[in-house]
Structure 1
Amino acid sequence: MGILINLIQSIISKLFAGNTTKFISVVTAMLQNKEGGLAAILEQFQKQGMGHLTSSWVGTGENADVSEEQLQQGLGQDKIQELIKSTGLSEQDLLAKLKEHLPKIIDKLTPEGKLPE
């Protein structure tokens, strides 16, 4: 698990040009969460009928854009509220950051089109 944590932190830090904000820590924690992390997030989106989005993020082609509404639906309001509390960001700011960065982060974590072990 330590290798995956280091990989996640490295990718997120590169995407944020080394800026180690609270957001980075929270996203890292979310992706390595005990309840399944990255795999669970992808599964939640799939259950909400948005598997086409996550498939593009994991796949080797272009990443599909995600809307703030789709993020709310895919992550669920409880997770959104937890992230707001953890980051100190407003809901609008959190969703904007997730919209911009979550597809890129997942794409970088799955460079060969499959989940890391």
Structure 2
Amino acid sequence: MDIAQILRIGAQLFAQSSANTDGLNENNIMSALARLLGGNSNGEGIDFNSILQSLNGAGLANIVASWLGNGENSPISADDIAKIFNPDQLSSFANDLQMPKDEAVTGLQETLPGMIDKASPNGDIASELFQAVGGMDGIMNLASSLFGKK
């Protein structure tokens, strides 16, 4: 599974979330998600190493471990979303989608667990996603150290 597939899944999850997504199209959501995650609108340049470190730094290792595992995904709060992304990032994301910031955060609460879950079938992080950031060994070691996952 590549980044474009993960972003498409994220866009579908966001569109189906309880946020008011009327009038949004999947491609616009994909582009906004890609930019939120630090890449360009095509998803190039997304730094998963930085994302994993942000999640861990926000004290969310246990929550993210549930997303990586095979069990039920633990929910994430709006406050936790604000720990991962700074206010400017969230405002830009909401502006990209032309929706209120609180609606955008609601959508992210329902989207992020599913995106990470889909990027980690059977608890294994999809290697294609991390080739650009030092290869699979480096990212798996990082994930192991952050989330206690081997």
Superposition TM-score tier, normalisation by shorter sequence: 0.7 to 0.9
User: Partner letter of residue 96 of structure 1?
Assistant: T
Distance 1:97 1:114 in 2: 25
1:5 to 3, 6, 19: 3
1:20 counterpart = 2:18: no
Largest Rg, 1 or 2: 2
Whole-angstrom distance in 2 between the partners of 1:65 and 1:21: 25
Secondary structure, aligned partner of 1:93:
helix
Query: Aligned pair count?
Result: 113
What residue identity is the alignment partner of 2:10?
Answer: I
TM-score after normalising by structure 1:
0.77
TM-score by length of structure 2 reads 0.62
In angstroms, what is the RMSD of aligned CA positions? 2.4
Structure 2 unaligned regions, length at least 5: 17-24, 40-44, 128-150
Hey, what's the Cα distance between the residues in 1 that align with 2:4 and 2:115? 13
Shift of 1:32: 7.1
- Looking at structure 1, the residues matched to 51 and 84 of structure 2 have their Cα atoms a distance apart, in angstroms, of 8
Any idea what SS the aligned residue of 1:112 has? helix
Distance 1:85 1:13, change over 3 A: closer
Unpaired runs of 5+ in structure 1?
A: none
Identical-pair percentage: 24
Do the aligned residues in 2 keep the contact of 1:11 with 1:109 (CA within 8 Å)?
A: no
Conservation of the 8 A alpha-carbon contact between 2:10 and 2:30 = yes
